[in-house]
């Protein structure tokens, strides 16, 4: 299928085109640098049109009509001229209900494509997007999410006018998935022509700010966001996409002594903690037990012996583990346990524990195996 995408270099356009290419579509990308001859060719050959191009912050209000209304009319006229009945997907705005130049230009564009549907016997699908967010949106322009992600990730100031204002957010991947459904004739239609993105999220400005600030803090306290929550997961992905290219990595605090080292990687209130432990040859670590705490060990370098003793029956169990195959060792509650480096090189293990260390309730009790 050949898809004409206008506004190809914009926020939605870039994300949509990347996904269309991944799915094997042929894309006609039209933007401000394209020529009228290209538009004539694209409207002749396209099997579907996704009209995303538009003006929302012009230097002169007259540009609203030129970019939002006249271009829409031109595309429709060319489709009629070519006798091309390709379905037409229009990106409109929730501001069509407002009495301003931008809203008027979007209302006029909707009217144009509705008339086109009748004149050209074409299916039209109109979306009124609001508060879109995700990678590749332009910060300090028209998205508070992009602005705050960009500024907070760089330690720049942000402003909050009214913390109680509520936003309805739509994530770019959800928008793209919906547009692809529309291209293939299966949009999420509310009425005869107005379609919506079926997934949206409601949040106050204060909640949004707190979340984005917590993403930056997570590099310090190692508490990764609760990605089980859909909005948090999408916002965190968005935040990371705005990191400075020199700031992708960050250091961890390592606790070292003559036995080796221990480094926490990340922790989460719901998912526990992941760490890496290094033991020098001949070193034994552990010799403690837990009432309820759960641990899992994975040896990624070297070889070692895991020893367990049931603290009631005194039964002793040993496991010989090495890095030749990926084997996870569970540490059941009620067993005192240790790990001995029996090899000639450092023993490196990845450790997961279901709860991070709480000095007020450590649930860790020293006892030799």
Whether the CA torsion 109, 115, 118, 120 is positive or negative: it is: negative
Phi/psi zone of residue 315: left (φ > 0), alpha (ψ -120 to 50 degrees), beta? beta
Helices (H), 184-229: 205-221
d(CA 231, CA 113): 33
Helices (H), 71-166: 71-81, 101-120, 144-153
What contacts 77, CB < 8 A, 6 or more positions away?
Answer: none
d(CA 272, CA 294): 10
Q: DSSP letters of 33-71?
A: TS-HHHHHHHHHH-SEEEE----SS-SSTHHHIIIIIIH
At 79 the three-state DSSP class reads: helix
d(CA 95, CA 141): 17
Residue 199 burial by Cβ neighbours in a 10 Å radius (0-12, 13-18, 19+): middle
- Give the helix/strand (H/E) hosting 89: strand 88-93
Q: DSSP letters of 296-363?
A: EEEEEESEEEEEEEETTT--EEEEEEETTS--EEEE-TTEEEEEEE-SSS-EEEEEEESS---TTS--
Active-site annotation, residues: 102
């Amino acid at each position: 299928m050949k898809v004409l995408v206008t506004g190809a270099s914009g926020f939605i356009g870039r994300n949509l085109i990347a996904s269309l290419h991944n799915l094997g579509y042929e894309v006609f990308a039209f933007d401000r640098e394209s020529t009228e001859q290209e538009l004539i060719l694209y409207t002749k050959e396209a099997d579907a049109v996704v009209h995303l191009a538009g003006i929302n912050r012009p230097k002169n209000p007259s540009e609203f009509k030129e970019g939002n209304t006249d271009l829409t009319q031109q595309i429709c006229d060319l489709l009629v001229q070519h006798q091309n009945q390709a379905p037409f997907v229009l990106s409109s705005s929730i501001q069509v209900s407002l009495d301003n130049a931008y809203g008027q230009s979007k209302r006029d564009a909707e009217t144009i494509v509705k008339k086109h549907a009748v004149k050209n016997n074409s299916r039209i699908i109109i979306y009124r997007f609001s508060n879109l967010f995700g990678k590749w949106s332009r910060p300090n322009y028209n998205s508070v999410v992009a602005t705050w992600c960009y500024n907070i990730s760089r330690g720049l100031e942000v402003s909050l006018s009214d913390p109680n204002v509520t936003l309805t957010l739509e994530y770019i991947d959800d928008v793209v998935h919906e547009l692809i459904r529309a291209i293939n004739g299966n949009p999420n239609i509310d009425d005869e022509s107005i379609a919506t993105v079926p997934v949206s999220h409601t949040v106050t400005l204060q909640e949004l700010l707190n979340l984005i600030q917590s993403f930056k803090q997570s590099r310090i306290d190692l508490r990764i966001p609760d990605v089980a929550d859909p909005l948090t997961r999408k916002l965190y992905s968005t935040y990371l996409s705005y990191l400075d290219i020199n700031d992708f990595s960050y250091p961890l605090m390592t606790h070292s002594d003559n036995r080796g080292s221990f480094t926490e990687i990340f922790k989460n209130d719901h998912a526990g903690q992941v760490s890496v432990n290094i033991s020098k040859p001949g070193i034994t670590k552990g010799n403690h037990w837990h009432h309820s705490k759960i641990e899992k060990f994975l040896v990624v370098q070297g070889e070692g012996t895991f020893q367990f003793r049931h603290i009631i029956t005194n039964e002793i169990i040993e496991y010989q583990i090495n890095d030749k195959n990926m084997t996870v060792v569970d540490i059941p509650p009620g067993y005192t346990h240790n790990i001995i480096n029996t090899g000639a090189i450092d023993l490196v293990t990845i450790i997961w524990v279901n709860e991070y260390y709480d000095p007020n309730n450590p649930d860790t009790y020293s006892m030799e195996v």
